[in-house]
A = this chain, B = another copy of it.
Amino acid sequence: MELGIIGLGKMGANMAERLRLAGHKVVGFDFNKEAVDKLTAAGSVGVSSLEDLVKNLSAPRAVWIMVPAGQPVDDTIAKLEQYMEKGDTFIDGGNTNYKDTQRRHAEAAAKGFEYIDCGTSGGIWGLKEGYSLMIGGDKAPVERLNPIFEALAPSPTEGWGHVGPSGAGHFTKMVHNGIEYGLMQAYAEGFSILKAKDTLGLDLEQISTIWQKGSVVRSWLLDLTADALKKNPTLDGMEAYVPDSGEGRWTVFEAIDLNISAPVITESLIRRLRSRENNNFTDRMISIMRNEFGGHAIKKS
């Protein structure tokens, strides 16, 4: 079937290609002309405006929005609406906060549009291995787009599903990413302990490879970790600096709003914050207290 895709970055371009390979017609737009040319060269239809994108699709249209969460999504919808018709469908495949999704779904419905949220996991490996898709929204448009989901997923019957009403897809993906934070922190702590035990001379790359087969901790993240350790076993030349996109903090906010105690996901986020605090003020406060009550020396900078 036909699908418009807006946003041809790392994720969008790969998804377009996976759909094309599955026999679907993809019409793609990006502000980056190079990305559009690349799409065209690959055999899909690259266009130079949102108007053209809509024109190249037959009704009922479906347009997959793969742009950064927040204002860019609202901007894209506002422009698309000028050209789209009642019964057309928006799909937000990005890491959007589910509350924004629910608002946009209501706004779209009021204008006669369908609105689907699709939490999309798989990263840069999705082209080859397929994407895990967590879909929220109304039944009819989701069912109409099943062929698209079947093509993007690892297999037509695996790795994707319609999980609930509007917002359910993005909520599920948000929690997915919260879990991901926890998993990463757990592995990273373990490898740090192994590395610190220098009297045993452990080889992190070897151990990561051993654990890939048969162990209780085997996982795709461990596979990636083993690959990374092969390339740079000592992690030289890197800063201890970890960004966070919104989904980890949203998960923490949601957990608290729902009165669910989630210490590990929360602590994983907190540690990312900590990685970016230069000359941590909290630690300095503790140093002055120790100095005040016990005369303990303060380390000068």
Contact = CB atoms under 8 A, between A and B. Distances in A.
Contacts of A131: 214
A194 B163 CA distance: 11
A188 B251 CA distance: 14
Contact of A219 (B219, B267, B280, B286): B219
Contacts of A176: 190, 211, 215-217
A221 to B, nearest CB: 6
A279 interface: yes
Given A132-B213, A182-B189, A261 B238 contact: no
- As for how many copies of this chain the complex holds, the number is 4
Interface stretch (A26-34, A62-70, A269-277): A269-277
* A212, A214, A293, A301, most chain B CB atoms within 10 A: A214
A187 interface: yes
Given A134-B210, A211-B132, A301-B239, A271 B277 contact: no
A212 B134 CA distance: 12
A268 B263 CA distance: 8
B186 A294 contact: no
A282 B201 CA distance: 18
- Kindly state the interface size class of chain A when it binds its partner: 35 or more
A133 interface: yes
Nearest to A285: B188
A194 B260 CA distance: 10
A238 B206 CA distance: 39
Given A271-B261, A276-B259, A288 B172 contact: no
A260 B184 contact: no
Interface in A237-283: 237-243, 249, 251-256, 258-277, 279-283
A32 to B, nearest CB: 16
B189 A288 contact: no
A295 to B, nearest CB: 4
**Which of A130, A261, A280 has the largest number of chain B CB atoms within 10 A?**
A261
Contacts of A130: 213-214
A17 interface: no
10 contacts: A10-B294, A134-B210, A163-B202, A171-B200, A188-B281, A193-B258, A238-B287, A239-B284, A261-B280, A275-B283
Given A154-B214, A225-B288, A235-B288, 17 more contacts: A124-B295, A132-B218, A163-B210, A164-B200, A175-B194, A176-B211, A176-B217, A177-B216, A182-B183, A196-B260, A196-B281, A197-B258, A216-B221, A224-B292, A241-B299, A264-B267, A271-B282
